[in-house]
Amino acid sequence: MERIISPSMLSADFGHLDRDTRMIDESAAQWIHIDVMDGVFVPNISFGFPVMKPIRRASAKFLDVHLMIVEPEKYLRRFAEAGADLVTFHYEATQDQLGAIRMIKECGVKAGISVKPATPVEVLGELLPELDLVLIMSVEPGFGGQSFMEGSWEKVRRLRRMIDDRGLPVLIEIDGGVSASNAGDLFAAGCDALVAGSAVFGAADPKAEIVKMLEAQSSR
């Protein structure tokens, strides 16, 4: 199983976004994670289309776009057109999850769905065959720098069993409180991709920190 690190640009220096994007582009990280918040679905506001485009210009890496917005269907096509390789929306943000998944795929990009900490992964059962990725939030979405919620371990394991029992090629990504200290255990529990913000951009050597995460061993 390939290990993927997706540094979250939410923790980058917004005043030097081009510099930080190019640094990640030169690192061992395979993906770049972009959090989009509307101040309604979550109590914070972040990137929009104007910021995504320069990130796309500064890197050819896989753009992993996470929409924390209400009515995501209104914007899915625009994020795909802005250069996203994967668009993930929240299960809790729409009543028509299947319609949103199909809309993303019609744009020629990969489709993901995310669940908040209180949402059980079992609600995704019928949607799994349509998805490319499930993003488990291991903190309450909206702000970086939060501590990992311990209940997330069991959610990852349950989702891993659901996917493997059906032989599906769905990736599991986790976001929140990820660092080199728990990366090995998260990969061992069944995660394919780890989103890391503060742990990367707050490190003395972000590139070395990414390598540490990729090479981390399980302690469990």
Residue ranges covered by each domain of the chain: 4-215
CATH number for domain 4-215, candidates 3.30.200.210, 3.30.365.10, 3.20.20.70, 3.40.1080.10: 3.20.20.70
> Would you place residue 44 in the very low, low, confident or very high pLDDT band (cuts 50, 70, 90)?
low
Is the separation of the CB atoms in 161 and 186 below 8 Å? no
Active-site positions read 35, 175
Which tens digit of pLDDT belongs to each residue from 30-43? 999 999 876 666 65
């744009």: which residue's tokens? 107
The tens digit of pLDDT for each residue in 104-122 reads 999 999 999 999 999 999 9
How do strand 133-137 and strand 171-175 relate by DSSP bridges? parallel
Cα 195 from Cα 39, distance rounded (Å): 21
Residue 159 and residue 153: Cα distance in Å, rounded?
10
Return mean pLDDT, the chain.
92
Say if CB 70 and CB 46 are below 8 A apart: no
Contact 105, 116 (CB under 8 A): no
